[in-house]
Amino acid sequence: MQLPLDFYEISELFFLTIALTVFTRLIIYLLKRTWQKQKCKLVWTPINVVERRSNLLYDEFIKEYASVGKPVIITDVMQNWKALTKWNLDFFKLEYGTVECAVKKDDVEIHSFMTIAEYIDYMISGNSNKRLYLANWVVSCYPELLDDYREPIYFPNWLQRIPRNLLLKYECDNPEIFIGHKNTSVGLHQDPDSFSAWLGLISGRKQIVLFTPDQKDVLYDGKVDIFNPDLEKFPLYAKANPVEVILEPGEVLYIPSQWWHHVNNLETSIGIGNIFINEFNSELVFQSFVESNPIKGHFLPLILDFPWIGKILFSLGII
């Protein structure tokens, strides 16, 4: 007759099961990383115009845009958002007037800090010569605002797997709200670390000029003012191939990885945007993180697959 397992045998079996599970997960992780490295490359499609699409199926978006690195404007993804009717200057001043945010001036990342109420008063005063732009107000710091919009289904975001304290530390906690008056802009740039991005417009109109990733040299690494180019200082810009769009309220623009873009507010506007990582840009993002931090950068793909490792490394102060 077989005797029941004693405590030590049960403990051995338990730890063996855990070790086997971890080992299997690691093997799967390494195989997946090998597959991703082979699949994920910088791909873009030269265009003359940015298409506008409605009733766009997810599979259609992947096939026609995400997998070939092609921007698109999606016209109907925001139609049920509360933010479209709720978010305006009066709402933000009343509910969030004391919140302090960084304010940009043209391509200066942080010009100063102002409260929401101070910035709205500045806008209303008509003192627009300063060209101050309230950008990068992180929405997730105010969870009640998250109920006013829905992440578009087209942009699954692996960053949501990472502990929020890590996202905050490395300035990847998104989405962000942008509030600006006429003629304010975000200078010519690529989104950081090869992230892809989407930009949704609540109110106003935005003029956006896009360039394919291969035009870095003729754009002088983003130093050109697209809306007033100095061809004596930047003569190669004459060879650039810009594609201009006007984003209307209720529309979302998809910006693929490493596409250059310059955004200008044609009117007082309120927008919301997010950066994201998924299978179509993951290796590009991983490479960017390694280039900026050769040691810590290697942890990102591991943390995306094993978020608990991120919590441990963060608590130990390693990352």
231: its two tokens: 């061809």
Residue 140: per-residue pLDDT = 79
Residue 1: per-residue pLDDT = 46
Choose between 301 and 33: higher pLDDT: 301
Residue 23: per-residue pLDDT = 63
**Does the pLDDT of residue 299 top 90, yes or no?**
no
87: its two tokens: 């978010």
Give yes or no for a contact between 110 and 126, defined as CB atoms under 8 angstroms apart: no
DSSP string, 104-157: EETTEEEEEEEEHHHHHHHHHHT-GGG-EEEEEEEGGGSHHHHTT----TT---
pLDDT over 70 for what percent of the chain?
A: 84
Residue 28: per-residue pLDDT = 63
Four-residue CA torsion sign, 141, 158, 188, 150: negative
**Does the pLDDT of residue 164 top 90, yes or no?**
no
Q: Mapping DSSP to helix (H, G, I), strand (E, B) and coil, where does residue 49 land?
A: coil
**Does the pLDDT of residue 5 top 60, yes or no?**
no
Stated as kind and residue range, the H or E segment containing 58 is helix 58-64
Choose between 221 and 165: higher pLDDT: 221
**Does the pLDDT of residue 2 top 60, yes or no?**
no
Mean pLDDT of 214-243: 93
Specify the pTM.
Answer: 0.85
pLDDT-derived band at 186, boundaries 50, 70, 90: confident
**Does the pLDDT of residue 79 top 60, yes or no?**
yes
Amino acid, single-letter form, for residue 113: F
pLDDT-derived band at 3, boundaries 50, 70, 90: very low
Mean pLDDT of 170-197: 87
20: its two tokens: 């086997």
Choose between 3 and 164: higher pLDDT: 164
**Does the pLDDT of residue 165 top 80, yes or no?**
no
Task: Tell me which CATH code domain 44-280 carries.
Answer: 2.60.120.650
Mean predicted lDDT score pLDDT of the chain:
86
pLDDT-derived band at 174, boundaries 50, 70, 90: confident
36-43 contacts: CB < 8 A, separation 24 or more?
36/279, 36/282, 36/283, 37/283, 39/279, 40/279, 40/280, 40/281, 40/282, 40/283, 40/284, 41/283, 41/284, 42/69, 42/194, 42/213, 42/257, 42/258, 42/284, 43/67, 43/68, 43/69
